[in-house]
Amino acid sequence: MALVKAGVVVLDCVEPEQLAEFYKGLLEAEETDATANRVEIRGADGVRLAFRRDANATPPSWPRPENSLQAHLDFMVDDLDATERLVVALGGRPVETKGPAGPHEERGYADPAGHSFTLRRAPSTAPKQG
């Protein structure tokens, strides 16, 4: 039995309730816990994220080098275009959407509080033809 179990990724932000709403919409998540300074959610696939109030939080500047990534989330998706539309509708913004096509195609975004994340095309599980 492991002494330590994986917990939850926590993002600092000024408005945890608003940021939780963004990720609830993106991950088809439900709120599992909330206090005055923290909101935790669980995605449909079980991933857990929390958002902690920090009145002095400043978003990362990625892709600019100063105050760069701090933290970075990757999400696997089947349809980059459809998921991008959802991200934008929920209040996120594209940061880096140009990249080489291929099995590992990915696009960079920022959530409404400025945290960076990547949507990465899920590898195909279909057998090769030929």
Task: List the pLDDT tens digit at each of the 130 positions of the chain.
Answer: 655 566 788 898 999 999 999 999 999 999 999 999 999 999 998 999 999 999 988 877 666 666 555 667 888 898 889 999 999 999 999 987 565 555 558 888 999 998 888 888 877 665 655 5
**Is residue 32 within 8 Å of residue 93, measured between CB atoms?**
no
Token pair 């994986």: residue: 6
Instruction: Give whole-number Cα distances, 59 to 11, 27, 112, 113, 117, in Å.
Output: 10, 21, 10, 6, 12
Backbone angles phi, psi at 44, to 5 degrees: -55, -30
pLDDT of residue 16: 96
Which domains are seen in the chain, by residue range?
A: 8-54 (3.30.720.120), 61-125 (3.10.180.10)
For residue 84, the surrounding DSSP H or E stretch is: helix 80-89
C-alpha–C-alpha distance, residues 112 and 130, integer Å: 45
Q: Give the global pTM.
A: 0.74
**pLDDT given for residue 118 in this prediction:** 86
User: What spatial distance separates the first Cα and last Cα of the chain, rounded to whole Å?
Assistant: 45
Cα distance between residue 90 and residue 23, in whole Å: 9
